[in-house]
Amino acid sequence: MACRDGDETSDIGVLVVAELPAEDRSELRDDLTDLLARWTGNDGHVQVLDHAAVARLVDERAPIVETWAADLQPVVGQPPSLRPSVHT
C-alpha cells in the first residue's frame, strides 16, 4: 500500500504485508528503502509486516492504523482488515 498524496519533497511511506521470515522482511524493508531513495530522491519509510502483526496493531488500536485507514492506497493484492477483531 502507498499513500495517495504528496509532492516532490514528501517522504514516501510504504506498508508491505507479507508472510515472510523475519530476516527476509528486514532485507526487503532495507532494499525497498534504498530503491525508493534512488528512484525518487525522497526518503522512504518502509514497514514490512506479516498479517498477524497487522492484526495485533489493529486490535491494540495503534495510532498508525488510523493513518493507514485514511491515507493508504492498495497497490497489489487485497489490503488487510483494519477493523479490530471481535473477541468472544
Residues 48 and 27: their CA atoms lie apart, in Å, by 9
Q: Could you tell me if residue 85 is inside a domain? A: no
pTM comes to 0.72
Taking the C-alpha atoms of residue 26 and residue 32, their distance in angstroms, rounded to an integer, is 10
Kindly indicate the confidence band of residue 13, based on its pLDDT and cuts at 50, 70 and 90: confident
Question: Do 2 and 13 touch, CB atoms closer than 8 A?
Answer: yes
Residue 82 lies in a domain: no
In a domain, 23, yes or no: yes
Give the pLDDT confidence of 16-28 residue by residue, as tens digits.
Answer: 998 999 899 999 9
- HSE, CB side, 13 Å, CA atoms: give it for residue 8: 0
Q: Is residue 51 part of a domain?
A: yes
* Residue 78 in domain: no
Range(s) of the domain holding residue 44: 2-73
- Is residue 33 situated within a structural domain? yes
Domains in the chain: how many in total? 1
Give buried/exposed letters for 31-44 (b at 16+ CB in 10 A, else e): ebbeebeeeeeeeb
In a domain, 32, yes or no: yes
pLDDT value of residue 6: 60
